[in-house]
Amino acid sequence: MLQVWLNPISLIIASIGFVNNVLVIYTVFTSKVVKKVTKVYLLNLAIADILFLSRVLLLVAENFNKSWYCGLITCKLIQTLTLSACTACNFLVAIISIDRYIAICFPFIRNPLHTQKNAKISWICIWIVSISFQIPSAIYAKTFDQMNPAKNETITICRIDWPPHIRKLTFALNMFIGFFIPSALIAVFYTRIVLELLRFNCLAYANDLCRRSRSKAVMLSLTIVSCYFACWTPYWTVNCFLAFTMHESNKWTHLKSVYKICLIVAFTHSALNPILYVFLGDKFQKYYKKALKKRKSTLSALIAREES
């Protein structure tokens, strides 16, 4: 029953995500408005999202109980790239949160992330770290035959055949590096952003534009953080149980079904990223600039009035 609606939903989410991220890539290469350094982060995030969404092909093939026809090399490649993209996505979101924090909380200093050199170093390091931690996945990814009792035939599947001790160690490292560290950065810096926006005094003399702009910027920040944790926490939580549960147990079988649902939820984040960081990203900056501009003009008027 699960597979009846699991495949259509995962394909719909993946299709929306592919289209949205391709549009981001097109926008990055054609837009003259977006800053060059901002383009670097958005481009890498879109590429990481597309790679992670390609994992839906493995999920659909497994749900349909069809064989893997692409060979061992392709199996190793897609397992490694999609899992690397998962880590890269989280780190890129964390980098963007730091970038926004500096832009909002320290608007009058030069943002170190907005230099071509530092931006290049950032995304190269992110991909190197992400791929390096998935080398064990490339080593243990295998294609092997399995009996399909429903159709009474042998099929070939592509999976990572972890030795028990390697599985636990690798998962612990991946969860710490790929989830805990980015999550901590995202939570800390967006909390600082929200606190800075709430501390921002629009003054009684300013009109409602300042307050509305501030409220919208706060809501966008909270939406970004909420979407991130809502999409990724279930995925990593279930993975944690799978890593420390014996494959032979009934509990592991049930967890695999829950894992597929959580994986689709994680796909949703990659589909939403273009909306959160590109289409709404410009509005976020506009809201804050409007509030800041209105506050400055009001302060200038008050000072002029007092001097007169």
- The CATH code of the domain that includes 220 is 1.20.1070.10
pTM above 0.85, yes or no: no
Full residue range of the structural domain in which residue 201 is found: 2-296
Dihedral angle of Cα 55, 59, 65, 70, to the nearest 10 degrees: 0
Task: Examine residue 96 and state whether it is found in any structural domain, yes or no.
Answer: yes
Task: Examine residue 301 and state whether it is found in any structural domain, yes or no.
Answer: no
| Span 204-251, pLDDT tens digits | 445 566 667 777 778 888 899 999 999 999 999 998 888 877 665 566
64 vs 76: which has the higher pLDDT: 76
pLDDT bin (cut points 50, 70, 90) of residue 186 is: very high
d(CA 156, CA 164): 22
Task: Examine residue 94 and state whether it is found in any structural domain, yes or no.
Answer: yes
Task: Examine residue 307 and state whether it is found in any structural domain, yes or no.
Answer: no
Quick one: which H or E segment has residue 63? helix 56-63
Q: What is the mean pLDDT of the chain?
A: 80
Task: Examine residue 242 and state whether it is found in any structural domain, yes or no.
Answer: yes
Is the confidence at residue 193, as pLDDT, over 70?
yes
Q: Could you list the beta-strand ranges (E) of the chain.
A: 141-148, 153-160
Task: Examine residue 168 and state whether it is found in any structural domain, yes or no.
Answer: yes
d(CA 141, CA 111): 41
| Span 72-130, pLDDT tens digits | 898 899 889 999 999 999 999 999 899 888 887 887 777 777 788 888 899 999 999 99
Task: Examine residue 153 and state whether it is found in any structural domain, yes or no.
Answer: yes
Give the chain's domain count.
Answer: 1
Task: Examine residue 123 and state whether it is found in any structural domain, yes or no.
Answer: yes
